[in-house]
């Protein structure tokens, strides 16, 4: 029998709506720790063509796994309607994720729709996408022409054998490298290459990856293996801390020096190779950055999550599909604004800090939303 992992332990009802004047439902929004809302990640599909062991292991997401029906996904119009409310409250960057977002049909149409959104000053939002790169050779030009600004590609190894073991569908690494090149030729600059490092699995690939991308125009980012969701069997001793990774680079003759952050809510610390070339370190296990987190996440089914490690989401799709409000866009919009205000205003999330403070923190006992439903 396949092991069943629920999407989420709980669906949280909308919070008690605050009595807020209409004029206060505009502009910057702060949570209980004075963190602004700046970034929105939108999962456009729960499907993926890889079965990476740390995200969608095959023993859980096998051939008989029941993915969401098309009717359960947010439509493009619903996504834009929700995104517009977030932009009103300070979001200036939207990232499309999955699953694998390039599996969503006509994604370029959604990109074009989202690119019409502008902030309070009339400036277009930044629109980014994270992909495993498998379909990039076919879709890179289409994505660029639709208006996508930034691209991140997940790549966990250069060695073909290790890469195939990790993706667990026998997909060759060269096709991802070809996709990165196709995206660069399509006009994407400074593509971010994300490598999740799991000790004893692919940590021997850190130095080869650093050497390969050192003199490229792209930015390689090493991500500490995290306890996202419940399906990956996460263990703390499988994490390679950032300090040890930096030490390994130095011992291999590739020392790096720190660079200043672009902004305070940046997840990756920035480092520079001698002679040029940038890398990033995303160290949410060894160096939690909860205090600066400005990210909200919209799941495939339209639930709002205020933390990557959350176990509860607020159902925004229910508001959009409430038959009693279908004929009143004004009432629906007001309820969306009030729900977002109440949810973010009440936010106190600090999961990674709590894990760091307590080595016996019950990471696996706590039910969490699966990463394939809200993106990484």
Is the confidence at residue 117, as pLDDT, over 90? yes
Q: Are strands 93-97 and 39-43 parallel, antiparallel or unpaired?
A: parallel
* Domains detected in the chain: 10-374 (3.20.20.70)
Confidence (pLDDT) at 2: 40
Residues of the chain above pLDDT 90, percent: 65
204-235: string of b/e by CB count within 10 Å (b at 16+)?
A: ebbbebbbbbbeeebbbbbbbbbbbbbbbebe
Query: What are φ and ψ of residue 328, in 5° steps?
Result: -130, 90
Is the confidence at residue 88, as pLDDT, over 70? yes
Confidence (pLDDT) at 9: 42
| Best mean pLDDT range from 15-29, 48-62, 143-157 | 143-157
| Beta-bridge partners for 96 | 42, 129
Average pLDDT over residues 154-166: 96
Is the confidence at residue 8, as pLDDT, over 50? no
Q: From the CB of residue 2, how many other CB atoms can be counted at a distance below 10 Å?
A: 12
CA atoms of 242 and 225, how far apart (whole Å): 11
Confidence (pLDDT) at 121: 86
Sign of CA pseudo-dihedral 116, 133, 49, 364: negative
CA atoms of 56 and 229, how far apart (whole Å): 10
Residue located via tokens 């296990």? 285
Is the confidence at residue 122, as pLDDT, over 70? yes
Confidence (pLDDT) at 266: 77
Model confidence at 31, in pLDDT bands (50, 70, 90)? very high
How far is residue 262 CA from its own chain's centroid? 19
CA atoms of 251 and 238, how far apart (whole Å): 21
Confidence (pLDDT) at 323: 82
Average pLDDT over residues 43-55: 91
The verdict on whether omega for the bond into residue 351 sits within 30 degrees of 0, i.e. cis, is no
| Distant-in-sequence, close-in-space partners of 81: CB < 8 Å, separation ≥ 6 | 320, 333, 336
Average pLDDT over residues 229-250: 84
| Beta-bridge partners for 152 | 130, 192
pLDDT digits (tens, 9 = 90+) for 278-317: 999 998 888 888 889 999 999 999 999 999 888 889 999 9
Is the confidence at residue 234, as pLDDT, over 70? yes
Q: How are the residues of the chain apportioned to helix, strand and coil, as percentages rounded to the nearest 5?
A: 35, 20, 50
Confidence (pLDDT) at 330: 82
Is the confidence at residue 251, as pLDDT, over 80? yes
Average pLDDT, the chain: 88
274 near 252, Cβ under 8 Å?
no
Confidence (pLDDT) at 353: 83
CA atoms of 14 and 29, how far apart (whole Å): 18
Is the confidence at residue 1, as pLDDT, over 80? no
pLDDT digits (tens, 9 = 90+) for 317-373: 999 998 876 667 788 888 999 999 999 999 999 888 887 887 555 555 556 567 666
Is the confidence at residue 15, as pLDDT, over 90? no
Model confidence at 260, in pLDDT bands (50, 70, 90)? confident
């Amino acid at each position: 029998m396949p092991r069943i992992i629920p999407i989420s332990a709980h669906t949280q009802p909308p919070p008690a709506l605050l009595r807020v004047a209409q004029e206060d439902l505009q502009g910057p929004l702060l949570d209980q720790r004075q963190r602004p809302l700046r970034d929105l990640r939108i999962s456009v599909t729960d499907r993926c063509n890889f079965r990476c062991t740390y995200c969608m292991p095959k023993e859980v997401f096998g051939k008989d796994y029941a993915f969401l029906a098309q009717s359960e996904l947010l439509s493009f119009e619903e996504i834009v309607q929700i995104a517009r409310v977030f932009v009103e409250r300070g979001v200036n960057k939207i990232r499309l994720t999955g699953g694998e977002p390039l599996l969503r049909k006509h994604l370029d149409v959604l990109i074009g729709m989202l690119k019409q959104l502008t902030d309070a000053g009339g400036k277009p939002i930044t629109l980014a996408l994270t992909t495993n790169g498998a379909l990039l050779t076919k879709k890179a030009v289409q994505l660029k022409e639709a208006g996508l600004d930034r691209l991140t590609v997940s790549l966990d190894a250069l060695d073909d054998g290790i890469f195939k073991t990790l993706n667990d569908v026998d997909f060759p690494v060269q096709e991802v490298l070809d996709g990165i090149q196709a995206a660069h030729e399509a006009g994407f600059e400074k593509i971010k290459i994300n490598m999740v490092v799991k000790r004893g699995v692919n940590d021997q690939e850190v130095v080869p990856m650093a050497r390969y991308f050192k003199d490229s125009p792209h930015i390689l980012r090493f991500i500490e293996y995290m306890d996202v969701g419940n399906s990956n069997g996460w263990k703390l001793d499988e994490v390679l801390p950032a300090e040890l990774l930096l030490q390994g680079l130095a011992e291999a003759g590739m020392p790096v020096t720190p660079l200043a952050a672009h902004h305070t809510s940046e997840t990756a610390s920035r480092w520079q190779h001698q002679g040029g070339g940038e890398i990033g370190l995303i160290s949410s296990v060894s160096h939690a950055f909860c205090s600066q987190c400005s990210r909200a996440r919209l799941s495939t089914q339209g639930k709002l999550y205020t933390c990557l490690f959350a176990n509860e989401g607020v159902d925004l799709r229910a508001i959009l599909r409430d038959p009693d409000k279908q004929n009143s866009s004004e009432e629906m919009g007001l309820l969306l604004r009030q729900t977002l205000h109440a949810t973010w205003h009440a936010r106190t999330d600090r999961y990674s800090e709590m894990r760091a403070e307590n080595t016996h923190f019950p990471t696996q006992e706590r039910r969490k939303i699966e990463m394939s439903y809200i993106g990484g």
